[in-house]
Chains A and B, each alone.
Chain A
């Protein structure tokens, strides 16, 4: 296995970061790390906070880059090759395209069980991921078992 993709949802999914680094190192694979500025999330956050959508997207993107560079820092210490990406749009469409175009062999995603609307949204996104993304997916349950 040469290409592993870690989809970074937030800084709270660190167990998936560790798992991705461990597997990439073990297999000498390149770790692709992807953060997505999801258009629906931007709309929701902007509306909740009463902010402009463009400013909100900028803030979310910059936060994403920080996660990516923190991960990269950890990867360098582990001697793991990394490539960082930020994309903007619909999460499932981007993941599907990214996996296909780059011949990703394993997608790793962290999942923290949540309640209420937010929890259901993540559950739905993971269901769609399983349905549409054409590669094996490892869902790392944060703070628990896989």
Chain B
């Protein structure tokens, strides 16, 4: 189910980022460069608004910032890998290494919730987290996601 939204070009790998919004900006900019979105500010605004309400960091090194906005035409998934970890102000206080950015328009609400639910469920599996954190390239990230997406 998730694989239909995955694209190697929408996976970025960085060594280090100081701040969570810098990482989110990099991910949105990647989508902009690839022509998947036409504008960045409304998306960043929605994500920032959502993150200010409560951090969407989930568990054990994985965060899922998400929002709905009409600035995208369809559900968008961008994945970011931060090798050295990033302080995402998550509830468990642990550094985040993988960021799933999920944005969707109003009409894709059900799909958006299904994808969020699937990723959240996968992220609770220790096997999945370990394998994903060990992925060294975008193609490996996709392989891991495809393997566990059942």
Contact = CB atoms under 8 A, between A and B. Distances in A.
The 3 A-B residue pairs whose C-beta atoms are closest, nearest first, are A65-B117, A66-B117, A81-B54
A123 B103 CA distance: 40
A73 B68 contact: yes
A58 B121 contact: yes
Main secondary structure of the interface of B (DSSP, over half): helix
Interface in B43-70: 50, 53-54, 68
Contacts, number: 39
A54 to B, nearest CB: 11
Given A73-B68, A83-B91, A66 B54 contact: no
A53 B124 CA distance: 17
B50 A69 contact: no
A20 B91 CA distance: 21
Interface of A: 30, 58, 61-63, 65-66, 68-70, 73, 76, 79, 81-84, 86
Interface of B: 50, 53-54, 68, 91, 109, 113-114, 116-118, 120-121, 124
A66 B114 contact: yes
A82 B121 CA distance: 18
Contacts of A86: 120-121, 124
Contact of B54 (A65, A68, A70, A83): A83
A73 B106 CA distance: 11
B113 A66 contact: yes
A65 B59 CA distance: 14
Contact of A79 (B53, B114, B117, B121): B53
A111 to B, nearest CB: 24
